[in-house]
Structure 1
Amino acid sequence: MSRRDRESAARQAMEGTPPPVPPDLYAEVVRRGSRMLRRRRAARRLMWVLLLFAVVAFTVWATTVQPWVEPPSQVTPPVTGW
C-alpha cells in the first residue's frame, strides 16, 4: 500500500460517521470510575495508616532502646596513680 493510498484511506475513515455508542456505556463508565476512585482512596488511606504506624513504632523503639546513648563499658578501666 502506497502512502497516497494510506492517506486516502485515513481521510475516508475520518470523514465517515463515527460508530454509534451504546446507550448504557455512560452508566458503565461512571460505575467503573467511581469504583476506581474508591479503591485509590482506600489504598491512600491504608498507606497513611501504615506510615503512621511505622512512625509510632519507631518512636516507641527509640525511646525504649535509646540508641543515641553510649552503652556502659563492660571492662573496668585500669587503675593508675597508686
Structure 2
Amino acid sequence: MNRTEREAAVRRIMERVPPVPPPDLYPAAVRRGTRMLRRRVVARRLLWVALAVAAVALTVWAVAVQPWVAPPSETTPSLTDW
C-alpha cells in the first residue's frame, strides 16, 4: 500500500458517519458509575473501620500484656552473702 492508497483509505474512514450510540447508553453508564462509586466508598469505610479496630485491639493487648516490661526471673539469684 503506497502513500496515495493510504491517504485515500484514511479519507474514506474520516468521511464515514460516526455510529450512533444507543439511547440508553448514558443512563446505564451513570447507574454503573454511581454503583462503582458507592462500592468504593463502602470499601474505603470498611478499611478505615478495620484499621481502627486493629488499633484498638493492639492497644488493649499492649495494656494487658505489657511487652515492654522485663519478664520475671525464673531462677533465684545465687546467694553469695552467706
2:28 is matched with 28
1:48 is matched with 48
> Take 1:49 and 1:36, find their aligned partners in 2: how far apart are those partners?
20
Other structure's SS at 2:22 match: coil
5+ unaligned residues in a row in structure 1: which ranges?
A: none
Runs of 4+ in structure 1 over 6 Å off: none
> Take 2:7 and 2:39, find their aligned partners in 1: how far apart are those partners?
43
2:16 is matched with 16
Distance 1:71 1:28, change over 3 A: same
* TM-score, normalised relative to structure 1: 0.86
- CA-based RMSD of the aligned residues comes to 1.7
Q: How many residues align?
A: 81
* More displaced 10-residue stretch of structure 1: 19-28 or 2-11: 2-11
Q: Deviations over 1:12-48 (max 9, x none)?
A: 2233221011111111000100000000000000000
5+ unaligned residues in a row in structure 2: which ranges?
A: none
> Take 2:2 and 2:47, find their aligned partners in 1: how far apart are those partners?
52
> Take 2:71 and 2:20, find their aligned partners in 1: how far apart are those partners?
77
> Take 2:72 and 2:66, find their aligned partners in 1: how far apart are those partners?
13
* TM-score, normalised relative to structure 2: 0.86
